[in-house]
Amino acid sequence: MTESGLTPADPGPGDAPPDGIQALTVEINRTREYVGETVAALAAKADVKARAREKVSEVVGGSGTQPAK
């Protein structure tokens, strides 16, 4: 403890962080991955032009021909 009654918060260089911090870091990384996947899914849903092309491709049968205009 210091004179103020507080203990030093940061471990010195080379000290392993406590398990709680490691567990928190793992959870943060998982959350980042999940959020990234969610954002990618939302971006795909928001891309109306690409979804329309995909639907046309399904309807035409993927033969590569364009429907009559």
pLDDT of residue 56: 93
- Cα(5)–Cα(46) distance, rounded to whole angstroms? 55
- Cα(5)–Cα(9) distance, rounded to whole angstroms? 12
**Are 8 and 2 within 8 A, CB to CB?**
yes
The one-letter code for the residue type at 20 is: G
Name the strand (E) or helix (H) holding 52: helix 48-60
pLDDT of residue 20: 87
pLDDT of residue 13: 53
- How is residue 34 written in tokens? 């999940």
- With a cut of 70, list the residues of the chain below it in pLDDT: 1-18, 62-69
With 0.75 as the threshold, say if the pTM is over it.
no
pLDDT of residue 41: 93
- How is residue 55 written in tokens? 């639907």
